[in-house]
Amino acid sequence: MSRIRTRVRPDAEVPAAIDGAARRYENRLLLILFLAFGFVFFDRQALPFLAPYIAKDFHLSNTELGTLSGVLALTWALSGLVAGRLSDKLGRRKPILIAAVVLFSCFSAAGGLMTGFLGLLVARALMGVAEGAVLPLAQSLMVEASRESRRGLNMGLLQGSSAGLMGGILAPLAVVWIAELHGWRTALLVTIVPGLLIAAWIAKSVREVPPGGRARIAATDADASSETAVGPKPSVREVLGHRNIVLCMAAACCYLTWFVVIVTFTPTYLLTVKGFSSSTMSGVMTCLGVGWVLWGFLTPAVSDRIGRKPTMIAFSATAALCPLAVVYLTDPVVLGLIVVLTYTGLGCFTLFMATIPAETVPRGALATALGLVMGVGELAGGFLAPVIAGRASDVWGLQTAMFISAGGAVAVVLLSLGLRETAPRVLRRRAERAAAAPGSGAVVAGAAE
């Protein structure tokens, strides 16, 4: 297996002439992509929160609800695999990103026009095709514009906190409120507006490369000279030759199971099994969103300091407690508090879907690696898991879905034990300690554990 490289030098070595413009662009890009991916999850999460209303009109079973969630994950996965590889080959991400944002907004709104299960299934499938391209393209743009000291934080804010704020806090409040006043169809139809506005902002303000061009990326990567040189792009086989990529793909399958099953079945579980009112259910789901936002940026930031591997292990173990709390806690206030404290897994998503792959593969294979991890994870955890959980819930009760979710997080803990550390700060500290040790020889920076 290829050894892990730090591929970074401290921020101070970035040329001062471009540093000011680069920092301003970094912050602006973070805001734009934060909103773009946030609205992806706002649209994706709208259906689970509207599921009780839609199920009543369309007479849907738990299996059909799981299928609606799963088909979006299926097309999302396939789209991510294709879009990541295509953008690496073409060297163009901005036009694909704009098209993806426009299309997912249109297909999300189209769901409000459907008259039955089949039409809604088609709308969700097409929505997944568009949404699947957004994350690998957005993260590859973000990592190239990020300073080393902000890399984990930026990627966590983009992927974790944005989805938590828009999909976990705003979505349950907004769509349930609109559905109560005007019906679930209106709640879906209005989702087109923010997406179109974000697409226009991307077209105006996002650059294909950060200020100073891709040379700035090479300038901050200690080993970048050979990896960013013009030449053949790494093949998928070469990308899969990195152990971290394979482990991240497996972790994605398990963590998507944890996440998708929770968000798909918890609203219905709280209403039908716990007997909560719609407003109480919305409040508990909003607490999930608060935890999502909180841990979405704290987890990657912690990993910058203590390392990606120990962070994955500790926070995944905590995440396994969240679906169990949904089953065993009856007081909605206590449940809301516990889910805020245990909904830590969404911060880990940034690590295994973006940060660890970005610190493992050459820049020319970045979007390909991100697309592989996301795509395979969505196929197994996003597509198959909710269908299986829905079927199991029809047979053994909705609590079965929560146990399946917890099992996914436990599996990630075991997989994380095999990760190789990639955090630049941690690797430098190890190299410095090794160099300072009596009798130490030359140390290869970033060598695998």
* pLDDT reading at 155 higher than 70: yes
- At 11, the pLDDT band (50, 70, 90 cuts) reads very low
Highest mean pLDDT among 35-49, 138-152, 237-251, 292-306: 237-251
**What backbone phi and psi angles, to 5 degrees, belong to 448?**
-65, 155
Q: Which stretch of DSSP H or E encloses residue 165? A: none
Question: Which position has the higher pLDDT, 383 or 423?
Answer: 423
* pLDDT reading at 448 higher than 50: no
Q: What is the pLDDT of residues 299-319, one digit of tens each?
A: 988 998 899 999 999 999 999
* pLDDT reading at 354 higher than 50: yes
Task: Report the share of the chain in percent with pLDDT over 90.
Answer: 23
- At 214, the pLDDT band (50, 70, 90 cuts) reads very low
What's the mean pLDDT in 397-419?
A: 95
* pLDDT reading at 324 higher than 80: yes
Highest mean pLDDT among 89-93, 158-162, 380-384: 380-384
**Cβ–Cβ < 8 Å for 148, 129:** no
From the CB of residue 398, how many other CB atoms can be counted at a distance below 10 Å? 22
Computed over every residue of the chain, the mean pLDDT equals 81
On the CB side of 14, CA atoms within 13 Å amount to: 25
- At 440, the pLDDT band (50, 70, 90 cuts) reads low
Residue 346 in tokens: 């969404």
Question: Which position has the higher pLDDT, 93 or 438?
Answer: 93
| CA–CA dist 178, 181 (Å, integer) | 5
- At 56, the pLDDT band (50, 70, 90 cuts) reads confident
DSSP per residue, 10-50: -GGGS-HHHHHHHHHHHHHHHHHHHHHHHHHHHHHHHHHHH
Q: What is the pLDDT of residues 239-290, one digit of tens each?
A: 888 999 999 999 999 999 999 899 888 988 998 899 998 888 888 888 888 8
Give 77-132 as a 3 state SS string: HHHHHHHHHHHHHHCCCHHHHHHHHHHHHHHHHHHHHCCCHHHHHHHHHHHHHHHC
- At 9, the pLDDT band (50, 70, 90 cuts) reads very low
Which residues are CB-contacts of 223 (< 8 A; sequence separation ≥ 6)? 5, 6, 7, 446
Q: What is the pLDDT of residue 212?
A: 58
**Cα Rg of the chain, angstroms:** 21
Question: Which position has the higher pLDDT, 150 or 7?
Answer: 150
Q: What is the pLDDT of residues 98-130, one digit of tens each?
A: 999 999 889 988 888 888 888 889 998 998 888
What 8-state DSSP symbol labels residue 4? P
Q: What is the pLDDT of residue 404?
A: 96
| CA–CA dist 47, 285 (Å, integer) | 13
Q: Which stretch of DSSP H or E encloses residue 290? A: helix 278-306
Question: 3-state class of 220 per DSSP?
Answer: coil
**Cβ–Cβ < 8 Å for 187, 96:** no
Q: What is the pLDDT of residue 176?
A: 82
Which residues are CB-contacts of 439 (< 8 A; sequence separation ≥ 6)? none
Largest CA distance in the chain: 75
* pLDDT reading at 428 higher than 60: yes
Question: Which position has the higher pLDDT, 274 or 81?
Answer: 274
Which residues are CB-contacts of 31 (< 8 A; sequence separation ≥ 6)? none
Q: What is the pLDDT of residues 329-340, one digit of tens each?
A: 999 999 999 999
**What backbone phi and psi angles, to 5 degrees, belong to 233?**
-70, 145
What's the mean pLDDT in 195-204?
A: 91
Q: Phi/psi zone of residue 96: left (φ > 0), alpha (ψ -120 to 50 degrees), beta?
A: alpha
DSSP per residue, 387-430: HHHHHHHHHH-THHHHHHHHHHHHHHHHHHTTPPP--HHHHHHH
Instruction: Sort 251 into a burial class: Cβ within 10 Å, 0-12 / 13-18 / 19+.
Output: buried
